[in-house]
Amino acid sequence: MATHALSPAAVPAYRGGLYEWLTTTDHKKIGIMYLVNSFLFFLVAGIMALLVRAELAFPGLQIFQNEHVYNEMFSVHASAMIFLFIIPILAGLGNYAVPLMIGAPDMAFPRINALSFWMLPLGGILLLLGFFTPGGAAAAGWTSYPPLSERGPLASPGPGQDLWLVSLILIGTSSILGAINFLVTIFKMRAPGMTLFRMPIMVWTVLVTSVLVLMATPVFTSALVMLYIDRNLGGTFFLPNEGGQAVLYQNVFWFYSHPAVYVMVLPAMGVISEVLPVFSRKPLFGYKAFIFATVGIGALGFTVWAHHMFTTGAVFLPFFSLMTAAIGVPTGVKMFNWIFTMFRGQLTFSTPLIFAIGFLTMFLIGGINGVFSAAVPVDFALHDTYWVVAHLHYVLFGGSVFGLFAAIYYWFPKMTGRMLSEGLGKLQFVLMFVGFNLTFFPMHILGIKGMPRRIADYADPTWNDWNLLASIGGFMIGASMLPFLWNVFISLRNGKIAGDDPWEGNPLQRATSSPPPPYNFDRLPEIRSERPVFDARHGLVEHDATPPVPPSLAAGDEAHRAIGPSA
């Protein structure tokens, strides 16, 4: 039949080295490139954060010549962390994991997948090039509110802000194309038997994330385009003195940027929901409730954007306050799912589980201080103070980044065939966890004391100690990256061989070799539940057409590649 005739074409000619990486359309290689590229920008933006913390450690200007450089530094730090690190690195994880988890050979549109990836380094370089322009890089914060980001006397005259706009339009386009790719892949490329309600939670979170990206990002693009027209073509969209409205930008901006928060955290929730069951040796508690909660967060995510704009006086406060409180409910449901997954489980405290617990605890704090801010009177007092900085870092660092490292420790063996060192992983966790809380918990107090965000210097002596503490913590976070980098470096060379299924995981990717061959699967276990590999391992599939244990690595990975699927 056609299957056999076509099979040889399914094994691409193997091209070596750099050329292979630069031209690949394999979702696994692209996924790894996403991870590496995003991690490089994480390091760059992290160094900027350290510079910011060094500046704020003591009152007075320390390391920057003037406040403007400081403004550039925190603006590019936040923009790069959000648009070049968290969003793409989670997309990269999805890229790697989703086809493997649903039993597909690749993404639906492999070449568009490569295009989405290659827009990212381009966009990132454009953003950073701003530092070499006359006016410096974008300095109006990652939100770039007009009139600060506009043309005119108050504004950012240099091309740095325009580079920021172009860069974000590119990155947004990359996200949209990626989301289309994910959606078609998930809807059309699932293996036989893989119904929607048998998909791993990670795939569900990527699905909802992709819908958010698809619906919200283009609106953001329209805001960026309008700002670009204002700055360069003489438009008046956001210029109040010429018939425009500055608040209009905030509305359009947050219509994207609030759902973007869920874009940044839902895939991390998906990771946690893969990790906790595996290391608790229990199925996820409330699989369907979790899915409905995810969909609920996605839907409610579109109704809360104006809670960023309470103090503008231009939004309907009761509605947005109510909806913001409401979105805490599905998030609470998930907390119960996770906690009861671990409850009475046989916990093994491997690094992924430790990072997952880090996620649970830190994200909980981020959620609670978020609900505080949702109350309008509290928000009026805390708006634009360090409280907000604390809140967003507890969500995006305490949530997403801890989830991300859980994912890296969890999937590194699948990606490379080698285990990461547990000892170094735990060292990283301790440094990161302690450093993170030292940095960001004092910011709550600074916020309540009234310290505004985005200032290069301060004069209130009661803020000094807390700022110094936060700076010390910041450098601890920086230091926590060293054991990680060293861990990756030595584990790639000498790490323990992982085997196909190092954690006894349940989703389908455990049914192929580590690393998987280019075509992903030699054969698939029968899919009768959301845990097909578990079923196969424990003989729960009625007529077991395939070996319960995936083909071992005994034949060697190269042999797998050479033989191909039809052998």
Partner 1 sequence: MTAEATALTHTAGGGDHGTPGVHAGRGISNPILGMILFITSEVMFFSGLFAAYFATRAHNQPWPPNNCGEPPLAGCHSFAELLDPLGLILVATIILIASSFTCQFAVWAIRRGDRRGFVRNIAVTFVLGVIFLVMQAYDYTILFGEGMTIGSGAFGTTYYTLTGFHGAHVFGGVLMLGVILYRGLAGQFSAKHHDAVEAVSLYWHFVDVVWILLFSILYLL
Report the alpha-carbon distance of residue 276 to residue 126 in Å, rounded: 39
Residue 199-238 contact track with partner 1, rule CB under 8 A, x = bound:
---------------xxxxxxxxxx-xx--xx--xxxxx-
251 sits near partner 1 (criterion: CB under 8 A): yes
Helices (DSSP H) in 301-421: which residue ranges?
Answer: 317-342, 351-374, 376-382, 386-395, 402-416
Contact in structure between 238 and 249 (CB atoms under 8 Å) = yes
Structure tokens at 64: 């920057």
Q: Which is nearer to partner 1, 11 or 40 (CB)?
A: 11
At closest approach, how far in Å is the CB of 111 from partner 1? Answer: 12
Candidates 242, 384, 465, 504; binder of partner 1 (CB under 8 A) is 242
The region, left, alpha or beta by phi > 0 then psi within -120 to 50, assigned to residue 497 is beta
Q: Nearest to residue 249, comparing CAs of 140, 167, 168, 145? A: 145
Cβ of residue 29: shortest distance to partner 1, in angstroms? 18
CA 461, CA 16: separation in Å to the nearest integer? Answer: 60
Candidate residues 57, 89, 108, 404; the one interacting with partner 1 per rule CB under 8 A: 108
- The distance of closest approach from Cβ of residue 10 to partner 1 in the complex, given in angstroms and rounded to an integer, is 6
* Burial of residue 340 (number of CB atoms within 10 Å: 0-12, 13-18, 19+): middle
Q: Which of 188, 288, 493, 543 binds partner 1 (CB under 8 A)?
A: 188
Q: Which is nearer to partner 1, 248 or 553 (CB)?
A: 248
Among 103, 160, 399, 518, binds partner 1 (CB under 8 A): 103
Strands (E), 159-204: none
Burial class (CB in 10 A: 0-12, 13-18, 19+), 30: buried
Among 262, 410, 519, 534, binds partner 1 (CB under 8 A): 519
Of 255 and 429, the one with the shorter C-beta distance to partner 1 is 255
Instruction: Say if CB 444 and CB 369 are below 8 A apart.
Output: yes
- Report in angstroms how near the CB of residue 347 gets to partner 1 at its nearest: 35
Helices (H), 495-542: 532-537
Nearer to partner 1, 57 or 194 (CB): 194
Q: For residues 182 and 310, which CB has a smaller minimum distance to partner 1 in the complex?
A: 182
d(CA 241, CA 238): 9
Which distant-in-sequence residues (6+ apart) come within 8 Å of 120 by Cβ? 34, 37, 38, 84, 88, 171, 174
Residue 234 vs 423, nearer CB to partner 1: 234
Tell me the per-residue interface mask from 1 to 40 with partner 1, x by CB under 8 A, - otherwise: xxx-xxx--x------------------------------
Nearer to partner 1, 97 or 268 (CB): 97
The distance of closest approach from Cβ of residue 178 to partner 1 in the complex, given in angstroms and rounded to an integer, is 11
- Which of 34, 521, 529 minimizes the C-alpha distance to 277? 529
Contact (Cβ atoms closer than 8 angstroms) between residue 407 and residue 271: yes
Residue 133 or 303 having the CB closest to partner 1? 303
Q: Which is nearer to partner 1, 200 or 517 (CB)?
A: 517
Minimum CB separation from partner 1 for residue 106, in Å? 9
Residue 21 structure tokens: 């990486």
CA distances (Å), 104 to each of 187, 364, 479, 502, in order?
Answer: 11, 35, 39, 21
Stretch that binds partner 1, among 188-196, 293-301, 357-365, 504-512 (CB under 8 A): 188-196
Q: Select the span of 103-111, 153-161, 430-438, 482-490 touching partner 1 (CB under 8 A).
A: 103-111
How many of the chain's residues bind partner 1 (CB under 8 A)? 58
Contact call for residue 521 and partner 1 (CB under 8 A) = yes
Contacting range for partner 1; rule: CB under 8 A; set: 68-76, 97-105, 324-332, 437-445: 97-105
Which residue's CB is nearer to partner 1, number 112 or number 326? 112
The region of 26-34, 52-60, 481-489, 515-523 touching partner 1 under the rule CB under 8 A is 515-523
Inter-CA distances, 7 with 1, 110, 178, 185, 519, Å:
10, 18, 27, 21, 10
Dist. CA 231–CA 149, nearest whole Å? 8
CB of 221 to partner 1, least distance (A): 6
Element (H, E) at 120: helix 110-129
Residues shown for the chain: 567
187 is an interface residue for partner 1 by CB under 8 A:
yes
User: Which residue in the block uniquely carries the two structure tokens 């649903």?
Assistant: 102
Q: Which is nearer to partner 1, 236 or 464 (CB)?
A: 236
**Three-state DSSP state, 397:** helix
**Contact call for residue 189 and partner 1 (CB under 8 A):** yes
Q: Which two tokens stand for residue 456?
A: 């290069």
By the criterion CB under 8 A, which residues form the site for partner 1? 1-3, 5-7, 10, 103-105, 108-109, 112, 176, 179-181, 183-184, 187-192, 214-223, 225-226, 229-230, 233-237, 242-245, 248, 251-252, 255, 519-521, 524, 565-566
